[in-house]
Amino acid sequence: MAHAVNTRTKGNRGPVTGTATGQRKRKPFLLDLYSTSVGKKYVMAVTGIVMIGFVVVHMVGNLKMYLGAGDFNHYAEFLRELLVPILPRTVALWLFRGGLLASVLLHIHAAYGLTRVNHNARSVKYQSERDYQVANFASRTMRWTGIIITLFVLWHLADLTWGTLNAVGTNGTFVRGDVYNNVDRSLSRVPVAILYIVANIALGIHLFHGVWSLFQSLGWNNPRFNKWRRQLATGIATIVVVGNVSFPVAVLAGIVGN
């Protein structure tokens, strides 16, 4: 848990001395880092990189659907057979999933902790309207785009991994392994397609700030490349959104599907 904000400020005005003599209790190394806000941001950046990597690879992999059902389903099977025979089938995939899940949980936990700290840091809000200068829509809505993405991911898993929501409102049934048709079936539903589009735009907004921000959080700062950070963030966000939004559009347009 983070240091509680404002443990020793209000109401104890008076002479001060010996303010730096107290010994801090140290937790074990990684927990010690994670117990602070700067450490949490560090964790958010690192887990963010993991998830950005996933999102980009996920999008690129899904482009296979433009090559047809065979290629796409073959790619899905390949993922299950990753690193075979070093590891048994699906183990590598599960290891990735585990890592990803851990990243997601840590990212959310850190975000939750920081949000609480930040709320406590201004317990009485400004009573007049703020006029923000550079804080943009993306940076100020990270919390909300994050929640949208989380909820969407749950839907997305229920739709195309577990299959429980895949066939609702359609005549077909979810077939494990037949990825191509599962996608086609789901995204042929217009409301679902819209949901995918909206969620991916939220993802793009999240990435637009997140990719830029992680450089700051990790302290990767060098005047030589600083000006590229914004371009990189815009680029990654754009590529991911364009790629991912193309799938529901392609399905609705009949480019993908039967």
Chain residues in the site for another protein (CB under 8 A): 2-11, 13, 15-21, 24, 29, 32-33, 36-42, 114, 117-118, 120-135, 139-140, 142, 209, 212-213, 215-221, 223, 226
Cβ-count burial of 207 within 10 angstroms (0-12 exposed, 13-18 middle, 19+ buried)?
buried
Cβ-count burial of 2 within 10 angstroms (0-12 exposed, 13-18 middle, 19+ buried)?
middle
Between 110 and 187, name the residue whose CB sits nearer to another protein.
110
Q: Can you state the angle between helices 190-218 and 226-253, rounded to 10 degrees?
A: 170
Q: How far is the CB of 218 from another protein (least distance, A)?
A: 7
Q: How far is the CB of 212 from another protein (least distance, A)?
A: 7
Cβ-count burial of 56 within 10 angstroms (0-12 exposed, 13-18 middle, 19+ buried)?
middle
Between 226 and 231, name the residue whose CB sits nearer to another protein.
226
Q: How far is the CB of 237 from another protein (least distance, A)?
A: 15
Between 9 and 171, name the residue whose CB sits nearer to another protein.
9
Between 188 and 217, name the residue whose CB sits nearer to another protein.
217
- For 182, the token pair is 């599962």
Between 191 and 223, name the residue whose CB sits nearer to another protein.
223
Q: In whole angstroms, what is the distance from residue 248 CA to residue 192 CA? A: 9
Give the SS3 label for residue 172. coil
Q: Which among 74, 73, 93 has a CA at the least distance from the CA of 83?
A: 93
Q: How far is the CB of 43 from another protein (least distance, A)?
A: 11
Q: How far is the CB of 36 from another protein (least distance, A)?
A: 6
